[in-house]
C-alpha cells in the first residue's frame, strides 16, 4: 500500500510536458506573400493544451474558426489561423469539474474570453530545415516557423519547429511547443509560494492543422 501510494504521488507531481520552448519576443512585421491558398479544415484541425501544477495537470482542446496556409512551388510561404477561445474544452475530469475549470479558464484570470473571444497566429517567416536537430525535442520537424501569436489582445512573436507534409492537394502541419502564459498577462497562480495551488507558467500547445488546396 505504501509503494502504491508513493507511485501515485510521484505520478501526480507534474512538470510541464517536455517540448521545445517558444520564447516570446516583440511582434514582427508581416510581409505579404503570394501563392496558392490552402484553407484549413476546421473539423480536422485543433489546438491541444496542457497546463500543470505540482499536484497534477489539466488538458483539453481549442477549435479553430478558420485558417489559411499559402504555398508556392511546393513550399510553405505563410499563413494564419484563428482560435475560437470560447471553444476551450477541458477533457481530463468529469463533466461537472470540466465545466468549472472551463469557466475559470475563460474568465479574466486567464483568457478573458468575453473581451477576447479569439486568438490568432500569423506566420512571419518560414525556414525549411531545423538546423541542429540535437537541440530540438521535436526530432521529426521539417521547418522552423516564426509568427505573431495574439492572446488577450497581446501580440508576441514566437518561433517553434514544425512538421509540414504536402500531399495530393493538402497540407498537414504539426507542432508541439511550450509558451510562457505570463507573457500574455495570464499571471493567475504564478507564485511558487502557493504550494500545491501554484500553476506553472509554461503551457504546452500542440497544433494540428489540416488545409486543403482551393481550386
Please give the grid coordinates belonging to residue 66. Answer: 478558420
* pLDDT band, very low/low/confident/very high, at 8 (cuts 50, 70, 90): very low
Q: Is the pLDDT of residue 12 over 60?
A: no
The pLDDT > 90 percentage for the chain reads 81
Residue-level pLDDT at 4: 38
pLDDT for position 13: 53
2-213: CATH topology: Lipocalin (2.40.128)
Answer whether residue 192 shows pLDDT above 90. no
Q: Please state the rounded mean pLDDT for residues 120-141.
A: 91
Whether the per-residue pLDDT at 135 is higher than 90: the answer is no
User: HSE on the CB side for 26, CA within 13 Å?
Assistant: 1
| CA 155 – CA 121 distance, rounded (Å) | 9
pLDDT in tens, 45-82: 999 999 999 989 999 999 999 999 999 999 999 999 99
**Which of 3-7, 8-12, 40-44, 129-133 has maximum average pLDDT?**
40-44
> Nearest CA to 106 among 98, 17, 171, 176?
98
Query: Within the chain, how many helices (H) and strands (E) appear?
Result: 2, 11
What is the domain partition of the chain in residue ranges? 2-213
27-44 per-position pLDDT tens digit: 999 989 999 999 999 999
- Among left, alpha and beta (phi > 0; psi -120 to 50; other), residue 6 is alpha
What is the average per-residue pLDDT within 130-151? 92
Could you tell me which residue, 2 or 157, shows the higher pLDDT? 157
Residues 143, 164: contact at Cβ < 8 Å? yes
Amino acid at each position: 500500500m505504501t509503494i502504491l501510494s508513493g507511485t501515485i504521488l510521484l505520478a501526480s507531481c507534474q512538470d510541464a510536458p517536455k517540448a521545445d520552448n517558444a520564447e516570446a519576443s516583440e511582434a514582427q512585421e508581416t510581409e505579404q506573400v503570394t501563392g496558392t491558398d490552402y484553407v484549413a479544415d476546421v473539423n480536422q484541425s485543433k489546438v491541444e493544451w496542457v497546463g500543470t501544477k505540482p499536484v497534477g495537470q489539466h488538458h483539453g482542446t481549442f477549435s479553430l474558426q478558420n485558417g489559411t496556409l499559402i504555398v508556392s512551388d511546393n513550399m510553405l510561404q505563410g499563413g494564419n489561423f484563428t482560435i475560437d477561445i470560447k471553444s476551450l474544452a477541458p477533457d481530463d475530469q468529469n463533466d461537472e469539474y470540466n465545466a468549472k475549470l472551463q469557466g475559470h479558464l475563460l474568465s479574466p484570470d486567464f483568457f478573458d474570453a468575453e473581451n477576447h473571444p479569439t486568438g490568432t497566429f500569423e506566420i512571419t517567416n518560414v525556414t525549411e530545415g531545423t538546423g541542429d536537430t540535437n537541440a530540438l525535442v521535436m526530432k521529426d520537424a521539417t521547418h522552423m516557423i516564426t509568427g505573431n501569436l495574439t492572446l488577450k489582445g497581446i501580440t508576441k512573436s514566437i518561433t517553434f519547429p514544425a512538421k509540414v507534409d504536402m500531399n495530393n492537394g493538402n497540407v498537414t502541419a504539426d507542432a508541439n511547443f511550450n509558451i510562457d502564459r505570463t507573457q500574455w498577462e495570464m499571471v493567475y497562480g504564478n507564485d511558487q509560494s502557493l504550494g500545491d495551488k501554484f500553476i506553472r507558467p509554461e503551457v504546452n500547445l500542440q497544433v494540428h492543422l489540416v488545409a486543403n488546396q482551393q481550386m
